[in-house]
Amino acid sequence: MFRLAWTSQGHSLKELPFVAPFGVIGSYFGLLLNIICLVAQFYVALFPVGGSPNAEAFFEAYLAAPIVIASYLVWKIWQKTPFRRPSTVDLETGRRLFDTQQQSAEEEKAQRKTWSLWIRLYYKLC
């Protein structure tokens, strides 16, 4: 959501002091892993290992997901916080501009281009 708001307000990613190495794809991958965990937990709650399926065991094992969703909805209603469009999100309040950091980041990027493939791969993954 942040990147969508950032780009919809005319900013580029080069203005940010840090950009995640895997970008948006990393976020989607994290979301996919969370969904897989929820599906696996649902399956184990529905068909318990070494036991027969029953309603009590299901709700004991899977009650966390509905509680989290209900808590979020109650908080949204209680606090009356609206869902915002990316173009209306306030990205400027509290923001500091670091030209020296941007300059040093550009110098570091130029230096990294001279590194060998193995060193770049190491720093990309670690």
Residue 34: the pLDDT is 92
What lies within 8 Å, CB to CB, of 48 at 6+ separation is 57, 61
Query: Could you give the angle at the alpha carbon of 119 between the alpha carbons of 116 and 121, nearest 5°?
Result: 105
Q: What pLDDT score does 78 carry?
A: 93
Residue 21 vs residues 31, 44, 83: alpha-carbon distances, Å: 17, 34, 28
pLDDT confidence of residue 35: 92
* Angle of the 55-62 helix axis to the 64-79 helix axis, nearest 10: 50
CA distances 48 to 41, 45, 51, 64, Å, are 10, 6, 5, 16
Q: Is the dihedral of CA 49, 51, 52, 57 positive or negative?
A: negative
C-alpha 2 chain-centroid distance: 10
Q: What CA–CA distance (Å, rounded) separates 27 from 115?
A: 27
Predicted confidence pLDDT, tens digits, the chain (126 residues): 788 888 889 888 888 878 888 888 998 999 999 999 989 989 988 888 888 888 888 888 888 888 988 999 999 999 988 888 888 888 888 777 665 566 777 788 888 888 888 888 887 787
Residue ranges of the domains in the chain? 22-83+99-125
**Looking at residue 28, what is its pLDDT?**
92
Q: What's the confidence (pLDDT) of residue 76? A: 92
